[in-house]
Structure 1
Amino acid sequence: MAHTDTDEPTRRDFLYVATGAFAAVGGAAAIWPLIDQMNPDASMLALATVEVDISAIEVGQSITVMWQGKPVFIRRRTEEEIEMAKAVPVDILPDPIARNENITGEVPATDENRAAEGKEEWLVMVGICTHLGCIPKGQKVGDAQGDFGGWFCPCHGSHYDTAGRIRKGPAPMNLAVPVYSFLSDDRIQLG
């Protein structure tokens, strides 16, 4: 009797299928570590967003928190500091762009475009000088620095105002405003 394609599978057919399946599973198991290593590790995922309790910050005080390996300044500004920032015409600023990642496009560096709407007393900025990456001074209570009452980078003499805008010195840009949101009146989420 001759064998045809309609005959039942043989032991050889089973071995071909089993060997192919075993090779596919083994190949996937060998490749998985290479694919998985491209995912961010747990420490980076933890830094993607950070919640900050701001309930203890008094008017006129600042704190510095670390986010994505960078210092972030969070300041609760006084009415005087807000008024000083609002009084500055944008056309006299060395960098007229807001540098606010919460707003799309290149908007003017007004105080309103540097703070969250309805929460103008809070100023949130990446605390890295835009000249050579130093950390400006001015975060301690009653320690406003520079010629404009904000922050001062002593390394090369960059002066920032009460809205974190460059006013004098070699820094080419305003301090960056990172992505952040208010989760409540007492909590901010960075990232």
Structure 2
Amino acid sequence: MASGTQAPVADNPAPQGETRRDFLYIATGATAAVGVGAVVWPLVNQMNPSADVLALASIELDLASIEEGMAIKTSWRGKPVFARHLTAAEIATANQVDVSGLRDPQSLADRTKEGNAKWLITLGVCTHLGCVPLGAGQGESRGDFGGYFCPCHGSHYDTAGRIRKGPAPLNLEVPPYVFKSATAVTIG
């Protein structure tokens, strides 16, 4: 060999297949994934509704005892619910309103079930700041439009639960419900 040149070195090809290092990487990753899952699961699970809330997920309501022009209050998911038996005059008055001029335009038909326009079921929570409006109980003020009146800030709702005057931005909310018979309703 000439001086200044080195002898060729045999190339050591990389070993084929899994090595001990690959196994350690996979084992470490799997352990980390299980650890993250064990920490995250309780945090996610605590966001599920508790048993007492699930028990109130739906309620049965019998409307047979409500006379025309009267309403009852009940509770669903910790919120008051108003169920009102509308008179023919209240239905006619609600249907005569030009909905295009309302802040939250909805007709009575939009707020009741087809074939059951005489039953108005709403959450009894003012859409302004969450107070409970008056008008469902006997002798309570029904406001300027004969529906509900919120004494906290002066919102007036009509017989269809639509906002007509005051600071509330929206109509009283209609919860999900279905009629099981002519006078039996399931809310929720």
TM-score norm. by structure 2 comes to 0.74
2:86 and 2:160 map into 1 onto residues whose CA distance is 9
| Map 1:25-174 → 2, pairs under 5 A | 34=42, 39-96=48-105, 109-141=106-138, 143=140, 145-174=142-171
Amino acid in the other structure paired with 2:65: A
Secondary structure of the 1:133 match is coil
1:36 and 1:113 map into 2 onto residues whose CA distance is 37
Q: Deviations over 1:69-116 (max 9, x none)?
A: 1001000010011011000001111212xxxxxxxxxxxx01111111
Q: Deviation of residue 55 (structure 1)?
A: 1.4
Moved >3 Å (runs of 4+): 33-40, 141-144
Q: Is the 8 A contact 1:60 1:142 kept in 2?
A: no
Gaps of 5+ in 2: 1-33
Amino acid in the other structure paired with 2:159: T
Q: Deviation of residue 186 (structure 1)?
A: 2.4
Secondary structure of the 1:57 match is coil
2:149 and 2:168 map into 1 onto residues whose CA distance is 11
How many residue pairs align between the two structures? 152
Amino acid in the other structure paired with 2:58: T
Distance 1:38 1:158, change over 3 A: closer
1:154 and 1:38 map into 2 onto residues whose CA distance is 34
Q: Deviation of residue 56 (structure 1)?
A: 0.9
| Greater relative CO (CA pairs within 8 A, separation 6+) | 1
Q: Deviation of residue 44 (structure 1)?
A: 1.1
Distance 1:36 1:167, change over 3 A: closer
Distance 1:122 1:142, change over 3 A: farther
Q: Is the 8 A contact 1:72 1:127 kept in 2?
A: yes
Gaps of 5+ in 1: 1-26, 97-108
Is structure 2 residue 183 aligned with structure 1 residue 186? yes
Identity %: 54
Q: Deviation of residue 37 (structure 1)?
A: 5.4
Distance 1:93 1:46, change over 3 A: same
TM-score norm. by structure 1 comes to 0.73
Cα RMSD (Å): 2.2
